[in-house]
Amino acid sequence: MWSVLFHAGCMWIDQRGSEVLPRGESLRLLAAAAKEGAVGRLAVSTPGAPVLHPVNFAFEEGVVVVRIGVGSMARHVPGNLVAFEVDGIESEPGRAGGVAWSVLVRGLATSLDTVGAATSEFASSPLPMVPEPGEHVVAIRPDVVTGRRFAVGTSVLTGDRGE
Protein backbone atom coordinates (compact mmCIF):
# COMPACT_ATOMS: atom_id res chain seq x y z
CA MET A 1 0.00 0.00 0.00
CA TRP A 2 1.38 3.38 -0.99
CA SER A 3 1.45 6.28 1.44
CA VAL A 4 -0.39 9.31 0.18
CA LEU A 5 0.61 12.70 1.52
CA PHE A 6 -1.53 15.79 1.27
CA HIS A 7 -0.14 19.29 1.65
CA ALA A 8 -2.36 21.41 3.88
CA GLY A 9 -0.98 24.92 4.22
CA CYS A 10 2.49 24.58 5.76
CA MET A 11 2.11 20.96 6.87
CA TRP A 12 1.91 17.55 5.26
CA ILE A 13 -0.89 15.16 6.25
CA ASP A 14 -0.65 11.41 5.58
CA GLN A 15 -3.49 9.16 4.40
CA ARG A 16 -4.55 8.47 8.01
CA GLY A 17 -4.82 12.13 9.00
CA SER A 18 -1.51 12.41 10.87
CA GLU A 19 0.67 15.48 10.46
CA VAL A 20 4.05 14.48 9.01
CA LEU A 21 6.68 16.28 11.07
CA PRO A 22 9.80 17.82 9.56
CA ARG A 23 13.16 16.45 10.77
CA GLY A 24 13.84 19.51 12.95
CA GLU A 25 10.54 19.21 14.84
CA SER A 26 11.04 15.46 15.25
CA LEU A 27 14.51 16.03 16.74
CA ARG A 28 13.11 18.75 19.04
CA LEU A 29 10.48 16.31 20.38
CA LEU A 30 13.14 13.61 20.79
CA ALA A 31 15.40 15.97 22.76
CA ALA A 32 12.51 17.15 24.96
CA ALA A 33 11.47 13.55 25.68
CA ALA A 34 15.05 12.65 26.66
CA LYS A 35 15.24 15.65 28.97
CA GLU A 36 11.95 14.61 30.62
CA GLY A 37 13.20 11.05 31.21
CA ALA A 38 10.86 9.35 28.75
CA VAL A 39 11.25 5.69 27.90
CA GLY A 40 11.90 4.78 24.28
CA ARG A 41 12.06 1.48 22.45
CA LEU A 42 15.15 0.05 20.78
CA ALA A 43 14.67 -2.53 18.00
CA VAL A 44 17.19 -4.65 16.13
CA SER A 45 16.98 -7.56 13.71
CA THR A 46 18.42 -10.84 14.92
CA PRO A 47 18.76 -14.14 13.03
CA GLY A 48 15.70 -15.56 14.82
CA ALA A 49 13.34 -12.58 14.89
CA PRO A 50 13.31 -8.84 15.51
CA VAL A 51 13.90 -7.86 19.15
CA LEU A 52 12.43 -4.77 20.83
CA HIS A 53 13.26 -3.50 24.33
CA PRO A 54 12.18 -0.45 26.32
CA VAL A 55 15.18 1.74 27.19
CA ASN A 56 16.02 4.97 28.94
CA PHE A 57 17.92 7.29 26.64
CA ALA A 58 19.75 10.56 26.23
CA PHE A 59 19.94 12.75 23.15
CA GLU A 60 23.23 14.60 22.98
CA GLU A 61 25.66 15.76 20.33
CA GLY A 62 23.04 14.83 17.74
CA VAL A 63 22.84 11.12 18.63
CA VAL A 64 20.57 8.90 20.71
CA VAL A 65 22.50 7.28 23.57
CA VAL A 66 21.29 4.13 25.37
CA ARG A 67 22.79 1.78 27.93
CA ILE A 68 22.17 -1.96 27.53
CA GLY A 69 23.09 -5.03 29.53
CA VAL A 70 24.69 -8.33 28.66
CA GLY A 71 22.61 -10.52 26.38
CA SER A 72 20.89 -10.49 23.04
CA MET A 73 20.81 -6.69 22.64
CA ALA A 74 24.50 -6.33 23.51
CA ARG A 75 25.36 -8.98 20.90
CA HIS A 76 23.18 -7.64 18.09
CA VAL A 77 22.96 -3.84 18.49
CA PRO A 78 26.56 -2.51 18.21
CA GLY A 79 27.70 -2.17 14.61
CA ASN A 80 24.23 -2.76 13.14
CA LEU A 81 21.33 -0.73 11.84
CA VAL A 82 18.68 -0.28 14.53
CA ALA A 83 15.42 1.54 15.06
CA PHE A 84 14.64 3.72 18.08
CA GLU A 85 11.15 5.07 18.77
CA VAL A 86 9.70 7.38 21.40
CA ASP A 87 6.28 8.97 21.68
CA GLY A 88 4.25 11.20 23.93
CA ILE A 89 1.03 13.10 24.45
CA GLU A 90 0.84 16.87 24.86
CA SER A 91 -2.16 18.88 25.95
CA GLU A 92 -3.29 21.46 23.43
CA PRO A 93 -5.89 24.19 23.92
CA GLY A 94 -9.12 23.36 22.12
CA ARG A 95 -8.38 19.62 21.86
CA ALA A 96 -10.03 17.52 24.55
CA GLY A 97 -7.63 14.54 24.46
CA GLY A 98 -4.52 16.45 23.50
CA VAL A 99 -2.09 15.73 20.71
CA ALA A 100 -0.04 12.54 20.42
CA TRP A 101 3.29 12.39 18.63
CA SER A 102 5.74 9.67 17.66
CA VAL A 103 9.34 9.92 16.45
CA LEU A 104 11.26 7.10 14.77
CA VAL A 105 15.05 7.16 14.38
CA ARG A 106 16.82 4.64 12.18
CA GLY A 107 20.58 4.45 11.97
CA LEU A 108 23.87 2.78 12.77
CA ALA A 109 24.48 1.85 16.42
CA THR A 110 28.06 2.28 17.60
CA SER A 111 29.41 0.88 20.85
CA LEU A 112 31.02 3.38 23.19
CA ASP A 113 32.65 0.44 25.01
CA THR A 114 32.21 1.34 28.68
CA VAL A 115 30.16 3.73 30.76
CA GLY A 116 33.38 5.61 31.65
CA ALA A 117 34.20 6.24 28.00
CA ALA A 118 30.64 7.31 27.32
CA THR A 119 30.51 9.81 30.14
CA SER A 120 33.72 11.41 28.93
CA GLU A 121 32.21 11.94 25.47
CA PHE A 122 28.62 12.72 26.51
CA ALA A 123 27.56 14.87 29.45
CA SER A 124 24.96 12.38 30.67
CA SER A 125 24.91 8.69 30.02
CA PRO A 126 21.33 7.40 30.33
CA LEU A 127 20.57 5.82 33.69
CA PRO A 128 18.26 2.81 33.28
CA MET A 129 15.50 2.22 35.83
CA VAL A 130 16.32 -1.48 36.18
CA PRO A 131 18.06 -2.56 39.43
CA GLU A 132 21.28 -3.60 37.64
CA PRO A 133 21.89 -1.34 34.62
CA GLY A 134 24.05 -2.64 31.80
CA GLU A 135 27.58 -1.54 31.09
CA HIS A 136 27.29 -1.25 27.29
CA VAL A 137 26.64 2.29 26.08
CA VAL A 138 25.58 2.66 22.47
CA ALA A 139 25.23 5.77 20.30
CA ILE A 140 22.62 5.65 17.52
CA ARG A 141 23.32 7.89 14.57
CA PRO A 142 20.05 9.47 13.34
CA ASP A 143 20.39 8.61 9.64
CA VAL A 144 16.62 8.59 9.04
CA VAL A 145 14.30 10.55 11.33
CA THR A 146 10.53 10.57 10.85
CA GLY A 147 7.73 11.87 13.03
CA ARG A 148 3.96 12.08 13.17
CA ARG A 149 1.50 14.11 15.23
CA PHE A 150 -2.26 13.57 15.56
CA ALA A 151 -5.21 14.49 17.76
CA VAL A 152 -5.93 11.98 20.52
CA GLY A 153 -9.40 10.48 20.44
CA THR A 154 -9.74 10.39 16.67
CA SER A 155 -12.31 7.77 15.76
CA VAL A 156 -11.98 6.00 12.44
CA LEU A 157 -15.60 4.81 12.60
CA THR A 158 -17.26 8.16 13.24
CA GLY A 159 -14.75 10.44 11.56
CA ASP A 160 -14.63 12.56 14.75
CA ARG A 161 -11.24 14.23 15.02
CA GLY A 162 -11.71 15.55 18.56
CA GLU A 163 -12.00 19.16 17.41
Confidence of residue 133 (pLDDT cuts 50, 70, 90): low
Q: What is the pLDDT of residues 110-126, one digit of tens each?
A: 998 754 554 445 445 67
Alpha helices in the chain (DSSP H): 23-35, 72-76, 115-121
Contact 99, 150 (CB under 8 A): yes
The model's pTM is: 0.79
**Helix (H), strand (E) at residue 139:** strand 136-140
Instruction: Name the residue ranges covered by the structural domains of the chain.
Output: 24-151
3 state SS of 77 = coil
Query: What CATH number was assigned to the domain covering residues 24-151?
Result: 2.30.110.10
